[in-house]
């Protein structure tokens, strides 16, 4: 199964005028696979098993995949959602609340450093939730936030940094962490383009307070659409679980405590915080789980050029490469 073909028109080489001056009517159409799925029979079987089971909405398979993903990335908690954009939205919202009490790290009006090279839905949640994004130039080598530019825009209202690991490249995390510590900034990571990337042996997304991941069609692993938030903080993970589904307590690790606090309520319908509905489906979790087990090793092997990948190639094969380029 191969979908996602696009046709890219490349300018003909024209030394005298330069390619940018080429007449569009003289362009050659070159078919180039912008994104292709890497689904094999395992994904199809996993998807069919979900449809056959009758349990379609978020349940056991999502919980199992969250655990697999947490183990794989070395995170303590993982909360699956329906996209990387939703993951970013929940992270920012979670920074503005503490359901269990205590002061939230961010308040409306706070300034948050964001890279000038960013995805729209990394920046928009800040605006939508009343924070002020402050754009910072990027480092030409890592394409992540440049710290001297960041230093030049710090103010008394700067409270955080929303870092993006771009196209599989990690930021220099020792410098970033030192900078955040020195200036009292809470760090969020957007690792949507960088599943599998490491810095000093630690996986992208395990450095900040939270990190987002995306399983969109063209990313390293795909659940067609899908995303994840990882965090080391149990209370934050619980707030993310409430935010993900209407603000209810059903999926929280401290559900029993809430039930005891409000004994007259049916705890299936106990809503304790603001919320959205950005839940993933069982189908997405089942497919993503196969992808994590098969496509990521495929990637690692193919990238190292040491062994055939899942598609039988000893070099990054078109199916793998096009999926990872995030085009």
Ligand X SMILES: Cc1ncc(COP(=O)(O)O)c(C=O)c1O
Catalytic amino acids? 219
Site string for ligand X, 87-106 (x = CB under 6 A): -x------------------
Toward ligand X, which CB reaches closer, 83 or 99? 83
User: Which stretch, 18-26, 59-67, 185-193, 310-318, contacts ligand X (CB under 6 A)?
Assistant: 185-193
Contacting residue, 93, 193, 251, 282, with ligand X by CB under 6 A: 193
Q: Considering the complex, what minimum distance in angstroms separates the CB of residue 327 from ligand X?
A: 9
Q: Considering the complex, what minimum distance in angstroms separates the CB of residue 86 from ligand X?
A: 7
Q: Could you write out the DSSP letters of every residue in 153-195?
A: H--TTEEEEEEE--TTPPP-HHHHHHHHHHHT-EEEEE-TT-T
Tell me: does residue 43 bind ligand X (CB under 6 A): no
Tell me: does residue 192 bind ligand X (CB under 6 A): yes
Nearest Cα residue to 157 out of 120, 190, 129, 131: 131
Residue 223: phi, psi to the nearest 5? -115, 30
Q: Considering the complex, what minimum distance in angstroms separates the CB of residue 20 from ligand X?
A: 26
Beta bridge partners of 114: 135
Using CA atoms, how far residue 144 sits from 100, 113, 127, 218, 222, in Å, is 33, 12, 21, 21, 24
User: Which stretch, 7-15, 29-37, 186-194, 292-300, contacts ligand X (CB under 6 A)?
Assistant: 186-194
Helix H or strand E encompassing 287: helix 282-304
Residue carrying structure tokens 């079987």: 45
Q: Considering the complex, what minimum distance in angstroms separates the CB of residue 229 from ligand X?
A: 12
The half-sphere exposure of 257 on its side-chain side, counting CA atoms within 13 A, is 9
Six-digit token string for 99: 């359901």
Toward ligand X, which CB reaches closer, 88 or 273? 88
* Binding to ligand X in span 214-253, by CB under 6 A: 214, 216, 227
Tell me: does residue 85 bind ligand X (CB under 6 A): yes
Q: How far apart are the first and last CA of the chain?
A: 19
Query: Which residues contribute to the site for ligand X (CB under 6 A)?
Result: 83-85, 88, 119, 121-122, 164, 190, 192-193, 214, 216, 227, 326
């Amino acid at each position: 199964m191969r979908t996602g073909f696009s046709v890219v028109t490349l300018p003909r080489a024209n030394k005298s005028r330069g390619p940018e001056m080429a007449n569009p009517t003289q362009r050659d159409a070159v078919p180039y696979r912008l994104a292709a799925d890497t689904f094999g029979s395992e994904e199809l079987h996993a998807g069919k098993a979900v449809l056959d089971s009758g349990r379609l909405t978020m349940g056991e398979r999502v919980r199992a995949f969250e655990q697999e993903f947490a183990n794989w990335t070395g995170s303590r908690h993982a909360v699956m959602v329906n996209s990387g954009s939703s993951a970013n939205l929940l992270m920012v919202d979670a920074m503005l609340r503490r359901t269990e009490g205590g002061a939230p790290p961010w308040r409306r009006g706070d300034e948050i450093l964001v890279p000038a090279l960013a995805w729209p839905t990394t920046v928009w949640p800040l605006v939508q939730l009343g924070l002020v994004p402050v754009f910072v130039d990027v480092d030409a080598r890592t394409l992540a936030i440049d710290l001297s530019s960041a230093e030049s825009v710090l103010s008394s209202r700067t409270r955080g940094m929303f870092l993006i690991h771009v196209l599989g490249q990690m930021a220099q995390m020792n410098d970033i962490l030192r900078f955040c510590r020195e200036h009292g900034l809470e760090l969020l990571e957007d690792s949507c383009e960088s599943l599998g990337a490491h810095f000093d042996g630690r996986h992208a997304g395990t450095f900040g307070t939270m990190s987002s991941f995306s399983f969109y069609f063209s990313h390293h692993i795909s659940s067609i659409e899908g995303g994840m938030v990882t965090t080391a903080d149990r209370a934050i993970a619980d707030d993310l679980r409430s935010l993900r589904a209407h603000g209810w307590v059903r999926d929280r690790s401290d559900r029993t405590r809430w039930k005891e606090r409000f004994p007259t309520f049916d705890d299936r319908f106990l809503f304790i915080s603001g919320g959205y509905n950005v839940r993933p489906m069982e189908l997405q979790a089942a497919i993503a789980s196969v992808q994590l087990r098969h496509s990521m090793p495929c990637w690692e092997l193919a990238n190292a050029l040491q062994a055939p990948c899942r598609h039988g190639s000893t070099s990054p094969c078109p199916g793998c490469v096009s999926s990872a380029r995030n085009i």
